[in-house]
Amino acid sequence: MPTAEDAELPLTAWTVLGVLSFPGERSGYDIKSWADRSLRFFYWSPALSQVYRELRRLEELGFATSTLAPQDELRNKRLYRITDAGRAALTRWAGRTPDSPPVMKHGVMLRVWLGHLLGPDELRAVLTDHIEWALGMARDAAALEASAHRQLLWPYPELALRWSWRFYESEAELARQLLSDVDELEAARGHSPGGSET
């Protein structure tokens, strides 16, 4: 049986195991739902096929175990739980994994960078859409953080959600400032905010 030191797992596997580290048993669908309601705000949400692939791998390693639970007369549901070996591996991984700076792939900024091809009106539309998206993400994360706080569920995921809504509010504010920067640039070039020359 591989030990925690031997296990070289992809980040998706550690993330799935991390969801299992909270009390209770979960199906693959439950794990995907947790990721969609929490992890997506600051990391990413794996596809359901990735979740099930990693669950099989974690079981093979002895880091997770599963049981079949009746769902209805025709179907059973497989529920997964972390093992002691899995918890030890995850704890060791979380403690020794070096902090790496976040890698940014900001599609909106790439379009701004190519603004000489798009023009100010299209850039304004891109930034306005981005502000609306960021504010929506902030609202969603804040609502989930408030719900977790009211239910006194998981304090550390609550902190991550709190950071997330602050991040998306900041993202919206940066986009607002960039929108002003576009207008200032165009004014300096002798164009009105609507795009016509003055």
Q: What is the pLDDT of residues 78-98, one digit of tens each?
A: 999 999 999 999 999 988 866
CATH number at residue 83: 1.10.10.10
Question: Which stretches in the chain have pLDDT values below 50?
Answer: 1, 4, 6, 195-198
Whether residue 21 is contained in a domain is answered as: yes
In a domain, 193, yes or no: no
The answer to whether residues 59 and 53 touch, using CB atoms and an 8 Å cutoff, is: no
- Report d(CA 81, CA 97) in Å as an integer: 23
Instruction: Looking at the structure, tell me whether residues 91 and 20 fall in a common domain.
Output: yes
Output the pTM of the full model: 0.74
Asked if the structure places residue 198 within a domain, the reply is no
Residue 84: which of 69, 68, 65 has the closest Cα? 65
Q: What is the pLDDT of residue 194?
A: 52
What domain range includes position 78?
Answer: 11-96
The model's pLDDT over 137-174, given as tens digits with 9 standing for 90+, comes to 999 999 888 877 666 667 888 888 899 999 999 999 99
